[in-house]
Amino acid sequence: MEKFGPGRTIGSYIWALSPIYTLGMGTSITMFIAAVRLRSVLLWLVQPIYLALVILGFVTAGAEDGTTGDALFAASFLTLVTVGTGHALAIRRKVFSPRETLMDSLALAEGEAQRRRELRVRAAEMASRDPALAVEMGIGRPDLQRSFDDGGLIDVNHAPAPALSGIPGITPELADRIVRVRADTGGFVSAEEVSLMADLPPALTPRIAEYGVFLR
């Protein structure tokens, strides 16, 4: 369970207990804050109910004792204070979790994928300019000890079968086939040639083109 600092803990309880010290009149605002922070459809649907109860409380506040208005005021007051407080306490930790923990995980994954794609492009461009240096550096060779990240680029002409399996869609069986054909032909010059000579599914050609480098 995530631990809060003292300030965040105190603030979260001040927020969660607000239906009590506002006599229920602040419950709608309390839930509005939760709905905004959590982006919860359910909270947005519930919040108008709390607002309606607050309005009902204001309208019936001056009702005479024993009347229907007085009963409605008591019911709205008890609901706003008890249900509102219980609801707020139940979601307190979620509402006050650090914003980083609420960040869209898909956006994080997308950012990481884009970063690695850029690394592959840069490494492939360098390998194209200076193949000998690329071989010396071990570009496309995740099986070697290296001090840099090339984004998952694979040297199709030198990497062993387990490394070739790092190309999306290349199974261990296909990787072994590529290695056998490579040994017979002396290597490849393009993704299209790999796919043709190793009889790979056509759908793999774009992936080999993106992840593969062909050093000689």
Report pLDDT digits (tens) over 93-145.
888 876 544 456 777 788 899 999 999 999 999 999 999 999 999 999 999 99
Q: Rounded to an integer, what distance in angstroms lies between the CA atom of residue 166 and that of residue 164? A: 5
Residue 102's pLDDT is what? Answer: 47
pLDDT in tens, 152-178: 999 999 999 999 999 999 999 999 999
Contact yes or no for 46/37 (Cβ under 8 A): no
Report which residue type is found at 53: L
Residue 123's pLDDT is what? Answer: 94
pLDDT in tens, 55-71: 998 899 888 888 998 89
Report the predicted TM-score, pTM, of the whole model to 2 decimal places: 0.54
What separation, in Å, do the N-terminal and C-terminal C-alpha atoms of the chain show?
53
Q: What is the mean pLDDT of residues 194-201?
A: 97
Q: For the chain, give the percent of residues with pLDDT over 90.
A: 74
C-alpha dist (Å) from residue 164 to 99, 112, 171, 205: 39, 21, 9, 14
Structural domain contains residue 42: yes
Helix axis angle for 84-95 and 41-60, nearest 10°, is 150
Residue 38's pLDDT is what? Answer: 87
Q: What is the mean pLDDT of residues 196-214?
A: 96
If asked whether residues 151 and 85 sit together in one domain, one would say no
pLDDT in tens, 11-53: 889 999 999 999 999 999 999 999 988 888 999 999 899 999 9
If asked whether residues 73 and 38 sit together in one domain, one would say yes
Residue 9's pLDDT is what? Answer: 86
Other beta carbons less than 10 A from residue 168's beta carbon: 11
Structural domain contains residue 139: yes
Structural domain contains residue 37: yes
Point out the domain boundary residue: 102, 118, 144. 102
Q: Rounded to an integer, what distance in angstroms lies between the CA atom of residue 163 and that of residue 154? A: 7
Other beta carbons less than 10 A from residue 27's beta carbon: 28
Residue 156's pLDDT is what? Answer: 98
- Can you point out the beta strands (E) in 24-111? none
If asked whether residues 110 and 136 sit together in one domain, one would say yes
Q: Rounded to an integer, what distance in angstroms lies between the CA atom of residue 54 and that of residue 74? A: 12
If asked whether residues 112 and 200 sit together in one domain, one would say yes
The total number of structural domains in the chain stands at 2
Residue 211's pLDDT is what? Answer: 97
Which residue segment(s) compose the domain that 81 sits in? 6-102
Q: Per residue in 54-77, is it b (16+ CB within 10 Å) or e — as a string?
A: bebbeebeeeeeeeebeebbeebb
Residue 62's pLDDT is what? Answer: 85
User: Can you state the percent helix, strand and coil of the chain, rounding each to 5?
Assistant: 70, 0, 30
Structural domain contains residue 207: yes
Q: Rounded to an integer, what distance in angstroms lies between the CA atom of residue 30 and that of residue 156? A: 59
